[in-house]
Amino acid sequence: MGQNHNIKRYGEQWPSYRINQGLDILNKLKTWVIISGGWAWHFMSPEDHTEYKHAHDHKDIDIFVNPKNVAEVMVILAKDGFEKVWTRYDHMPSNENFRRYEKLDWLDNGKQVRVTIDFFESSTVETITVNGWTLVEPKTLLSYYSNIHSSDKCWAVKAALQLIEKGKNPVGSALLSKNPLEKV
């Protein structure tokens, strides 16, 4: 589980290069993957929302891949410069057959940035489609914060839990990207 947020940092935003890097590879993989984690909340949020760091986790990209599509996804990742990175989870038993892929990108200012993809295999993930993106279904996604994802303190997770408890669909809700300290 994630640590409590430092509310003094609630106005911080993700740099545009982080969002652009994520969108770049996700557009290439769109046909073959199910998006999970912070990027799933990103696509469930209203378009053109502010990219607050505490709303959605964009440190990495979490995807599920149906086993029949694994080869295609691996080819796309390799062509885009991603390489397998070993983690402490690689030899642990798992239903999701976890892998991590990373690449280093150079920004125009000469800064090097790591792009990380956490890759899980599954043929049984419940999904929804939002604006052409295949995403993990919200209730299912929330259940992953006990074992697969760790940013359970992000605004989107908290808001989705509250909305679902009230019988409301979180998809498209401004609450998924709204600072909870701001007045309505």
Q: Are 4 and 153 contacting, i.e. CB atoms less than 8 angstroms apart?
A: yes
Residues 80, 48: Cα–Cα separation, whole Å:
26
Over residues 112-125, the pLDDT tens digits come to 999 999 999 999 99
Residue 104 lies in a domain: yes
Centroid of chain to Cα 117: 9
Check which CATH number belongs to the domain holding 165 and give it: 3.10.450.620
What is the distance between the terminal CA atoms of the chain, rounded to a whole angstrom? Answer: 29
Residue 184 lies in a domain: no
Residue 97 lies in a domain: yes
Q: Is 116 helix (H, G, I), strand (E, B) or coil?
A: strand
Enclosing domain of residue 152: 7-177
The two structure tokens encoding residue 151:
């940013």
The predicted model gives 151-177 an average pLDDT of 90
Residue 92 lies in a domain: yes
Residue 147's pLDDT is: 54
Name the packing angle between helices 37-44 and 155-165 (round to 10°): 60
Domain count, the chain: 1
pTM of the model: 0.90
pLDDT-based confidence at residue 7 (cuts at 50, 70, 90): confident
